Structure 1
Amino acid sequence: MYVETVIDADMDVLWERTQNPARHQSWDLRFTSISYLPRTEGEPQRFRYATRLLPLLWIAGTGVSAGERQRPDGTRVSALRFASGHPLSLLAEGSGYWRYVPGPTGVRFLTGYDYRPRWGRCGALADRLVFRPLMGWATAWSFDRLRLWCERGIHPRAALGRALGECAARLALPLAALVASPAALVASPAAPLALAAGIAVLAVLLPPLPGTPAARRCRRTPSGRVGPPRLLTTLEPSCPRSSTRTWEPTSVVCTPRSGAASPSGSTTAKPVSGAERWSGSATGPSS
């Protein structure tokens, strides 16, 4: 899975708002809470995360992360592995990375991640049809929410309020068309219903307001070859059960069509010992 955006903000500001757990959870729809666990100097950062699906239903998991804040080419990178032992969690384990690439119009902020679903064939089908598209949308929407915070100073809570208000307005338009013509609806239901349907289509197709987050503003396929950083291979698996298999996001190659949790600071992770690494990358990890 791949998502990319360009954020016209200072690199240090972007790093702090993505690597600080309290800041991260404020803009990322995928997490309700993120908390770091105690660690000693030089070790990767372990953390707990939780997502609230219903008022009394939380899906929790654990992870390990590391980051490189100072790199010779001026870029920054962070990587993590995560897992959940919750029986209702479709996501069993996975891994991902963030890259920060400075450019003339801002910081190119991108992510790649992948995971292994549970529940066998039923889980794989649910993941392909529902969960994976939803995760991709939530990631892209969250990235644009972060961009608005860094570029325009719109706090994530305010951005969510704007998004909910705009959705309510779009839903109200076709209803208003029906309420405005009750006599016509009784005499000939087809015409008012067609009008309401047309308004509903326009409400969906119209672009969001500039200050409202939108997943459509993010790139969902890379413009070139992108692979997981080598830092990812140094992280031990974060599994709630005994396992020797770890998962890494695949490298993505964008070819022309015929006729797309977070560490703090810089740490050096210990190499994985005795673990079988799985990678769907044809080229292997990149720097």
Structure 2
Amino acid sequence: MGRNRSGRVRDDSPATGPGEGRTHTQGPLIRTVGSGTAELHPDRDRPYGWQLLVDGAPQSLVDLADPTHLGFEYQRRLGHLIDLAAPPGRPITALHLGGGALTLARYAAATRPRSRQQVAEIDTALTELVRTELPLERGWQIKVRGADARAVLERTPEGSVDLVIADVFSGARVPAHCTTVEFAELASRALAPDGRFAANIADGAALPFARAEAATLLAVFPEVCLIADPAVLRGKRFGNLILAASHQPLPLAELGRRVASDSYLGRIEHGRPLTDFTAGAAPITDTTAAPSPTPPPTAFH
């Protein structure tokens, strides 16, 4: 689901070459971290691939030999937004709210060399586990701060980043204080004039949380779109939805082509269809906020 959270500046972290780190012959690893029980499981389809779970919820999928591999549906869609954040290969400045196994930061570092990236991951024990067992490559400019995601966003200088990605989960739920108009306004303030905000959320059934989150971003940004599996949009299953927002027009045509070319089914809602999707939901504020819904017991099986 992408249960990524928040982190701490570490310039002395282990750095390796491609493919170095924990090997499949070492088998799974289970450790207690600040947010619960973290598990690293080998990916049977990729010799250097590892899946991170926390308390049984899938958080991240990393291939140490190929950081451009994005195996989860939500990661692929956020990867498209990284790809479209600037012309191909151009460095960007990115703020990742939620770290997990740093999959998306690795992807941006590999596809956009010299990018400057900061990651907020509140679970410092999880960050240490990831850095030790799934280390970053030498030369990547990725700093991790061990602090609450919103607190890091509040301290981010105005107009300083090209892309803010919110993938903030506490357990399997988006925490209430990272769902609001006030949170979105902080993201808007941090962005450069042509910068973009993207958020990974999860919902199911009648999608009340997703509808309210769309309304929340529409209250702050003039341009918003939503990407999701049609079955999720129809309330047929619990799953991830990606919201993207900007003060400038979004690259909808190219984004649509990339979503259509994925092996995962996906649909983009924008403009009037997105307004209709909100179904009159009120924007979420700090005084009305609640965490995203708890996934059903079968969500990860």
Q: When the two structures are superposed, what TM-score results if normalisation uses the length of structure 2?
A: 0.27
For CA contacts below 8 A with separation 6 or more, give which structure has more relative contact order: 1
- The structure whose Rg is larger is 1
